[in-house]
Structure 1
Amino acid sequence: MTVSADQIVQTAREWIGTPYRHQASVLGAGADCLGLVRGVWRTLYGREPEIVPAYSYDWSEVQGKERLWAAAARHLSEKEADAVSPGDLILFRMRKRAVAKHLGILVKLTPFPAFVHAYSGHGVVESMLTAPWRRRVVASFEFPGEVG
């Protein structure tokens, strides 16, 4: 079975309104940004590709390791920034010289780019990909096209 960009976008949008809960990944009950991506993955592909260990709010910052980036690269295909399209995963670095540790799913490009993400204090929301957000994007990835 093939997974389309439209299915990814639709599935991500189904999570809108889910409250923010650190380390959670349950539609309607709670999710953080990684939990949102995990939940979308489970819906589209079945079980998750790897077990996610417990993590703190400042995970991998002390070591300076790009763990989230490396995990995304293990399971998705990295894309050039100018080649992103709806359904792609986007990775953000929230502060200069910090590790990248926020994720979202691009849901539209026109007329204004937007993405779905779980954001502390807001829950799962659809946000415009404004200049402040675009400046923080460090990588983008394409979900696998095939199930299984």
Structure 2
Amino acid sequence: MNCADPAFVIATARSWLGTPYHDQASLREVGCDCLGLARGVWREVVGDEPFPIPPYSRDWGETGPREVLAEGARQMMPEIMPPDAGPGTLILFRMAPRAIAKHVGILTAPDRFIHAYERLGVVEEVLTPTWARKIAFAFLFPNPSSI
């Protein structure tokens, strides 16, 4: 599968900077959460979302037998190993030990990423060692012509 141009993914993600945080929303300049940011970037880079996103809990410490976000991403995006993730890659974070991955961001540089964070909205910040240790999965946005 061909992948989307990382520079286009990053430019699209940056166009969401400043969007206020709003749980389970996905509208640029109106409101979004971390998954809503990824969904919005998908719509602008790839096209229509392939399936509806069911409601989800905000509990970053949630445990369970299934990695629901990763399973959903695998249906639409090529998965790569987190150490191979470069700019333009969608990354999933496990926010607590033994918890399922529940936070999403997009790498903009080897040491920076964009995500939607409660009280801050969509921001670009440094991928500190603490954040980097929490990366559990990485996926590439597909090129729309390859789907």
Does the alignment reach a TM-score above 0.5? yes
TM-score normalised by L of structure 1? 0.91
CA distance in 1, matches of 2:12, 2:126: 18
How well do the aligned residues superpose, as a CA RMSD in angstroms?
1.9
Matched, 1:33 2:34: yes
Instruction: Identify the match of residue 144 of structure 1 among 137, 142, 145.
Output: 142
The Cα of 1:65 is off from its aligned counterpart by: 2.3
2: CA distance, partners of 1:68 / 1:2: 20
Over residues 45-101 of structure 1, what are the superposed CA-to-partner deviations in whole Å (9 max), with x where a residue is unaligned?
A: 221011101122138935442101111111111112221111000110000011110
Once the two structures are superposed, residues 15-39 of structure 1 have per-residue CA deviations (whole angstroms, 9 ceiling, x without a partner) of 0000000000000000000000000
Q: How does 1:1-148 map to 2 (within 5 A)?
A: 3-58=4-59, 61=62, 63-109=64-110, 113-147=111-145, 148=147
Unmatched runs of 5 consecutive residues or more in structure 1: none
Would you say the 8 A contact 2:106–2:115 is kept in 1? yes
Which portions of structure 1, spanning 4 or more consecutive aligned residues, are displaced by more than 6 angstroms? none
Cα deviations by residue, 1:96-148 (Å, 9 ceiling, x for unpaired):
01111000000112xxx100000111100001100110110111111113435
Counting aligned pairs with the same residue, the percent is 46
